[in-house]
Structure 1
Amino acid sequence: MAGASAQAAPDLARANEGAEQDGRPPRLPQPSRVVPLGVYGKQLVFLDRLQQIVMEPPRGCSKGELALWFGDDYLIEYFPSYPKGWKPGDDDPEDFHQGKAQMALIDDCRAKGIFKPEGKVFGRGAHRPRHDEEAMVLHIGNRVLLANMPDARGRRSADIVQHPAGMVRIGGKETFYPADDGLPPPADKPATAAEAAEVRALFEKWSWAEPAAAPLLLFGWLGQAFICGWLEWRAHAWLPGPTASGKSSLQKIIRALLGEWVLSTADASEAAIRQILRNDTLPVSIDEAEPHDNPERVQAVMNLMKKASSGDRILRGGADHKGTEFTAQSCFLLSSVMHATLRGEDRNRIALLDMKKLPDNPEPLELELAKWRSTGRRLHRRMIGGIGRFDRTLGCYKRAIGAQGYEGRWQDTYGTLLACADLLLYDYAPDAGFDEAVETDEPGMRRVHEAVMAILPMMAKGRVEARTDTERVSRVLLSHALPGAHGSPPEPVGTWIERALTWVELDASTGGDSGPDFKARAKLKTYGLRVVQLVDDAERATGYRIEDARTGDDGWKHDFLAVAYPTNKGINEIFARGDWMGDGYLQSLRKLDGTKGPFKVRFGGRQPDNALLVPLAALSGDEG
C-alpha cells in the first residue's frame, strides 16, 4: 500500500467547525478535538481525540476522562479554571473547569439527536459498502483504505484511497471506522501467480485423505480469510487428523501467512471470541478444538460459525441488563484429532479436510515463518486487487457445482472457497475472452471444471453425511434401546417395530391363537409408541378411527407409528436429552411426508394421549 496513490483525507477533527446544532452554534470551541455524534439512551456518543468511539453516561465525564478525551491543553485554553484571587496579568491558569467542559459536551451531543451505532460503526477488517457492492473498505486500525472505488467517470480506480480512522463519508453517507490497534497493511505490490502457486504446493506436502481437493480448498480458505468481512458468504474449514499428521505445524504456517489478521487460540469459548472480535471481521483459527474436551463449548462455537457464514446479527444480554448486538462476519479454521458431530445445516457450511498421519521419517519441513509472513502480505494485496472479478468468478464455480446436482449452501460454501483460490492463482476471470478482448493462456473454464471434479467426491461424502433433522430424529427414535424381558439384552425400537409387524404362528398345542407379536406391541405402548392403521369412519370428527396395524408388507406400506406427545412419560425417556427434548421431536417428525395428526390414541389404560401418526414407510430405508 505504501506505493499506492493516496488522496488527501478530510480534516476529521474539524468536521463540525462552524456548523450550527439545534439552531445554535456548538458549545465546544472549534476546531474541537472531540466530535459529538449524538445520544443513545442515557449515553453520550462521540469520537475522542484519538478517533475512538466513546459511549459514556454524563455522570461518567470525570475530570480525568475529559482530559483523556480532549487533552488538558485544549480544556485549559477554552475552559480555564481560575484560582481564587486571580486577576488579569497573573500567570495563565493550569487547570480547567470540569463542569463547564462536561456541560458543553453533553449539550452538543444532545443537539445532534439520537445516534444508534448498529450499522454505522465498523471494526477492523474488510467491509462491503452498501452503496457500492464492488468496492471494499479495509479498516487496518489507524487507517481506512478504500479499494476498487469508481472515479468521476464511473471507472474503477486501481489506486487505494486512504483516510485516517474515524468518520469516513462513503457514497454521501457518514460511516464510522473508529481507531484501534493497528494491523499491518497489505504489501504495496501484489504477489504473482507463481508465488500463489508456491503456497498451494506447500499445502500439498501434508498427507490428505483427498489429496486433489483438500490443499486447493485450504488455499481458498486462506484467500477468503483476507477479505472475509467483505464477502456475502463465508465458508469454514476443519482439519481433523490423527496425532503426528502435522496439524499444528500447518496452523503455524497459516497464521504466519495471515499475520496479525487472524485471531488464533487453542481454547476459547463462544463468548470470548465475540468479546474479542467485537465489530472486527477477522478470521478465527482454533487449534486442538477437541469436541470431547468440552462438547457444550464446541457446540456454542459451531453455532457462532453458522451465524458467521451469512453474517447474521446476534443479540446478547449484558450485566447491565442491556442488550448488545454483534454481527459475526468471520471465517473459522479448526483442527483436532476428531471433529464434532455435524448437523445437516453445519455439514454444508464446513469443509472437512481430513488429514492422515505423515509417513515415518518424513522429509523435514522448514517452516520459514518470516518468509511466509512477507508472502502473506503480498497475497493480501493480490486478493484486494482481484475483488473486481470475484462475483463473476464465483458465478462460474456455482454454476459448475450446480450442474453436478448440488444446490444452495453447497454452491455458496465450495463455490466461495474455489473462487477465492482462483483469485490468487490466476489473473483473469475464468470466462475472460468470451465477451471482451482478453488474450491469456490461462486455462479458462477448463480450470473451473477440473476444480469442481476434484472436490466432487468430498461433496458427495458430505451430502451423505448431511442428514436433515427429520433423518436424525428418526435415527434417534429407531436406535433407542428398550430393555428386554426376563433378563434378555436391550434391543432398539426399530427391532421392536419389526416384531410388532410380524405374524407369529403359535403351536396349537399351547392353546394360543396365531397373530401379530402382541408382546412387542405391548412393549412399544409402554414407551408412548403404537403401530396403528387409519380406518375410514364418517361418524367421527376426524373422519377416521384408530385400529391396530396390519402385519407384513401391508403394515409397512400403509400403516403408521403413533408417537405420543410429551405428556406421555414413556416417550420422554426416549427423547430425554439432545435436540428433541420437550416437543422438539414432534416438530421434526411433522416434516416427514404423510405424517398426520394429532389424533387421540390409547397407549395404555382408558385415557388416550395426543399423538402424531408417522408413516411406517418413512421410517424404513434402503441400504447402500
Structure 2
Amino acid sequence: MSDPTDPFADIAAALPTFEDDAEAMMSLREQAMRDPLMGAPMDVAGPGEPEEMIEPGGWHTAGYLDRRTGLPSNCPVKSLGQGSDGESFYFLNTLGSVHVLAPNAGKGHIDALFAGRGLYLSWAWPRWSAPKKGLSYVTNWEAEQARQALFAACAYKGTFELEDRVRGRGAWRDDDGSLIYHAGDAVWIAGRWRPPGEYGRFIYPGRPRIGRPGERYEVAGEGSPGDLLFQALQSWNWDRGELDARLALGWLMTGLVGGALEQRPVAYIVGTEGAGKSTLQKLLRLVMNGALVSTSNTTQAGIYQKVRQDSIAVMVDELEAKEDTRTTDKILELARIAYSGDKMQRGGKDGVGQEFAVMSSFLFSSIALPAMDAQDASRMAVLMMRERVKPAKGEKPVDVLKDLGLRDGAKAQAVGRHLLRRMFKWMERWDALRDVMRETLLAAGHEDRAADTFGALMAGCHVALSDDMPGKADLAQWTAWLSADQLAETATREKTWRRCFTHMLQAQPDVYRSYAKKSVAAYIEAWRDKGHVDDVLVRLPEVGLSVSWPKGAPEGDFLSARLFVPAKHPALHTLFAGTPWAGRMAAPGPWAGVLRQMPRELWENGKCDKGLDRKASGIFINLAEALEA
C-alpha cells in the first residue's frame, strides 16, 4: 500500500513497465522460444490468416513472404535499403538497432545480425544433409542463400541514407503534428507504444532505454510534482529570484521534448564557486531520466558522437571563458544550429561528407560567461547563481531538496516522468500556448528572436504549473518580469552592425600608436566637439577610411559629413583582425555587408572618388546620425 503522506508514491507505483504498456512486444528471449528446433516446422501466420505449420525452407513456396522484400513474412530482421555507395546494406537487427553488412559479409556477420534467433536461420535457410535411405535432415543453415536474400531485400527497398531516415531517442513530430516519443526500447506513435522499427518515412532503432512518462496525468496545484520541483529550484540563490527559477523550469520542460519543438531555447547558468551548480546538475540528470547527455571539457565532435540521431537534451559543464575560443565557438555554434533544428555537415568516411539535423536542447554552465557572438546570445537565457546564503550562527542549515524528497533519486525520477506526461498532454495545445506567450512579448517591445526564446521558456514553465491556458493576470506578470528594457539578455544586447561600427571606431591600430589620439573615435570626437577637422582628413585615410560631404554642403560641417568605408582595404583588414568581420586580405571584407544592416536611411552605396583609388566601392555612412542611432 502506498504512503498517503508521500506525494510521489502513487506516481512511482503507476509507472508503466515494458509489459504493461506494450503487451504485443515480446522480449527477444520470448521470441526465440517460439523458434522451432533445428529441422522442425514453424507456426507461421499470414496477414489475417490462421497459423500454419511450415517446414524448414518452405516459406517461399507456401507464400509466406514479404511482397516487397522477398524475405519471410515473419523475419525478425528488417531490410532498410542499400547505401548510395553500393557497399553498405542496412538492416534493423533482432534488437531493432541499425546494423550494416558489407558485400563480403560472412556467416559470423549474419549470425550477429540474427543474434538471439540462431534457430530461425536454420528454419529459413536450412542446410540439408545428403540423402540417406531417401531421407535428409537439417544440419545447419546456408550462409550464401541467406546473404543473397538479405542483400536482394535491401536492393528492393532502394537507396538508404542513414542521416535522413533515422530518428533516435527523444521526442519528434509526426507528419500530422502529433507527438512521437522514442524511449529507446519502445516508440510512442499514433497514441500507443510500439516496438522499435520502421514507421512511415522514418526508422526508430532500438537504443538503451530512457524514462517514459508516468501513466496518469496528475493535475497541477500546490504539492504537485511540478510545484515541488519549482520550490526546489527557488532554493538556489538566483540573481533574479523567482524569474530565474521559472526560466530554469521552462528550460527543463522544453528539454524533455526538444525534438518536437520549433525552437529549443538555450540556457546558460553562471555561478561562482559554492553557488550549487553541481547540485542543480545532479537534480536535472535525475529528473531527465536518462534523456540527457551530460558532459564537460568536450568538443563539438564529442557532443555529436554522444548524441548521434537522438533529440535528447545536452548539458555542458565548465564551458569556461578561455583565450583560445575556437572550441567554445564550435560548441555554441552547435547549440545555435540546434535552436531551430537546422542541418550541419561534417566529414565522413572515405572523404564523403554527411549531413545531419541537430534537435537537442542545450544547457551550459560555468563560472564566467564566455565571449560569444550576438547570434548565439540572442538564443539563450542567462541565469546567474550567487553563493548560497549561509545560516546565521547557531542555526541549522536548511536542506530544501531533502525536505521535498528530491534527494531520493527514485522520487526525483518520478517527478520527471510526471512532467513528461504533462508535456505529452500539452503538446496538443503547445503551439497555441507558445504563440500566446510570444505575442505577449512582442507587444511588450521584444524583438522576434527574444520573443521566440523567452516565449518557449514561458510556455514550458506554464505547462509544469498549470492545467489551463494563461489568463490576463498570468500574462501581465510575465510582461513585468520580462520587461524588454530591463531584462539583461535584451537590454544590453547590441545589434551586429552596431558592434562592428563601434569596433571600427574604437579599435586602436598600430599606425596610431605614436599619436596622442589612439582611435578613429578620438579624432571624430575632437572634430565634433572642437572643430579639429584637419586631423580627421589626414589620419582616417591611414586606416582606410575617409570623410566627404554631399554637393552643396559646407566642407568641414560635422552634421552633414559622410564616412566612407571601402569594401576592401588592407588597413581595414588589419583594423578588424581578430573579429568575425576581418575576412581575407585583398578580398572584399565582411565588414561592408554587416554595416549595410544598419537602418537604410543611414547609408548608401558609392565610390570613394578620392586618393589613388577613386573607383573603390564601399558605403557612405551619415556619420552624425549613425553615432546617435
Q: Report the TM-score range of the alignment, normalised by the length of the smaller protein.
A: 0.7 to 0.9
Asked if 1:165 corresponds to 2:196, the answer is yes
Question: What is the aligned partner in structure 2 of residue 76 from structure 1?
Answer: 122
Q: Does 1:178 align with 2:185?
A: no
Distance 1:161 1:458 in 2: 46
8 Å CA contact 2:607–2:615 kept in 1: the answer is no
1:9–1:472: structure 2 CA closer, same or farther, 3 Å change rule?
Answer: farther
Q: What displacement does 1:275 show?
A: 2.0
| Cα separation, 2, equivalents of 1:445 and 1:305 | 33
SS of aligned partner of 1:535: coil
Partner of 2:545: 529
Structure 2 match to 1:279: 309
In structure 1, the residue corresponding to 2:268 is in which secondary structure?
Answer: strand
Aligned to 2:610: 602
CA contact (8 A) 1:348 1:410 kept: yes
Distance in 1 (alpha carbons) for counterparts of 2:527 and 2:610 = 16
Alignment deviations for residues 136-174 of structure 1 (CA, whole Å, 9 cap, x no partner) = 11100110113xx5xxxxxxxxxx511011123xxxx35
Task: Report the counterpart of residue 65 of structure 2 in structure 1.
Answer: 18
Instruction: Output the amino acid matched with 2:594.
Output: S
Aligned to 1:378: 418
3-state SS of paired residue (2:216): coil
Match of 1:207 in 2: 237
CA contact under 8 A between 2:254 and 2:457: conserved in structure 1? yes
Q: Provide, for residues 475-529 of structure 1, a one-character-per-residue CA deviation record: whole Å limited to 9, x for no partner.
A: 110111145879455622111223356766xxxxxxxxxxx54344322211111
| 8 A contact 1:484–1:490 mirrored in 2 | no
User: 232, 246, 259: which one pairs with 2:276?
Assistant: 246
Q: Which residue of 1 aligns with 2:152?
A: 107
Change (3 A) 1:612 1:87: farther
Partner SS, residue 388 of structure 1: coil
User: Match for residue 573 of structure 2?
Assistant: 572
| 2:89 paired residue among 39, 44, 54 | 44
**Matches of 1:122 and 1:458 in 2, distance apart?**
41
> Residues 484 and 491 of structure 2 are in contact (CA less than 8 Å); yes or no, is this contact kept in structure 1?
no
Paired residue secondary structure (2:145): helix
- With over 3 angstroms needed to count, the CA separation of the structure-2 counterparts of 1:467 and 1:90, relative to structure 1, is same
Instruction: In structure 1, give the amino acid aligned to 2:519.
Output: P
Instruction: Please say if residues 566 and 617 of structure 2, whose CA atoms lie closer than 8 Å, have aligned partners that are also in contact.
Output: yes
Q: CA 1:56 to 1:575, structure 2 compared with 1: closer, same or farther past 3 Å?
A: farther
Q: Residue 205 and residue 457 in structure 1: after superposition, are their counterparts in 2 closer, same or farther (change >3 A)?
A: farther
For 2:505, the equivalent position in structure 1 comes to: 478
Q: CA RMSD in A?
A: 3.1
Distance in 2 between the 1:486 and 1:586 partners?
25
Deviation string for 1:409-451 (max 9, x for gaps)? Answer: 2221111111111111012222xxxxxxxxxxxxx33122212
SS in 2 for 1:58: coil
Q: State the Cα distance separating 1:459 from its structure 2 match.
A: 6.2
Q: 1:6 to 1:207 in 2, by over 3 A?
A: closer
Query: Where does residue 2 of structure 1 map in the other structure?
Result: 16
Are the equivalent residues in 1 in contact too, given 2:270–2:384 (CA < 8 A)?
A: yes
Residue in 1 aligned with 2:428?
388
Please say if 1:269 is aligned against 2:299: yes
Paired residues of 1:223 and 1:424 also in contact (CA < 8 A): yes
- Asked whether the 8 Å contact 2:566–2:608 carries over to 1, the reply is no
Is 1:588 equivalent to 2:594 in the alignment? yes
1:620 aligns with 2:610: no
Q: Which amino acid aligns with 1:469?
A: T
CA apart distance, 1:260: 0.7
**4+ residue segments displaced more than 6 Å:** 10-16, 82-88
The DSSP-based 3-state class of the residue aligned with 1:239 is: strand
Contact 1:124–1:280 (CA under 8 A) maintained in structure 2: yes
Conserved 8 A contact 1:190-1:378:
yes
Partners of 2:239 and 2:310 in 1: CA distance: 34
* 1:124 shift after superposition: 0.5
Q: Is the 8 A contact 2:564 2:608 kept in 1?
A: no
* 1:368 paired residue number: 407
Structure 2 segments unaligned to the other structure (5+ residues): 1-14, 32-45, 48-62, 584-588
Q: 1:31 to 1:483 in 2, by over 3 A?
A: closer
Question: Is the Cα contact below 8 Å between 1:601 and 1:611 reproduced in 2?
Answer: no
Determine whether 1:560 maps to 2:567.
Answer: no
2:426, 2:451 → 1: CA distance?
A: 20
Structure 1 unaligned residues grouped into runs of 5+: 150-159, 431-443, 505-515, 537-546
Q: Residue 356 of structure 2 is aligned with which of 326, 330, 335?
A: 326
Aligned twin of 1:354:
384
- Partners of 1:606 and 1:416 in 2: how far apart? 52
1:359 match: secondary structure: coil
Shift of 1:395: 2.6
Identity rate, percent: 24
Cα separation, 1, equivalents of 2:132 and 2:486 = 81
How far apart are residue 81 of structure 1 and its match?
4.7
8 Å CA contact 2:66, 2:72 repeated in 1: no
1:153-552 equivalences in 2 (<5 Å): 160-168=191-199, 173-193=200-220, 194-292=224-322, 294-361=324-391, 363-365=397-399, 366=402, 368-370=407-409, 371-430=411-470, 444-456=471-483, 460-483=487-510, 487-488=514-515, 491-500=518-527, 516-535=532-551, 550-551=555-556
Q: CA deviation at 1:461?
A: 2.9
Task: Give the Cα–Cα distance (whole angstroms) in 1 for the partners of residues 512 and 170 of structure 2.
Answer: 63
State the Cα deviation string for residues 365-393 of structure 1 (Å, max 9, x = none): 34614132232222222222222232232
The question of whether the paired residues in 2 share the 8 Å contact of 1:270 and 1:304 is answered with: yes
Specify the SS of the correspondent of 1:427: coil
* TM-score where L is the length of structure 2: 0.81
Partner Cα distance (1:17, 1:598) in 2: 76
Question: Does the Cα contact within 8 Å between 1:9 and 1:162 map onto a contact in 2?
Answer: no
- 1:124 corresponds to which of 160, 165, 169: 169
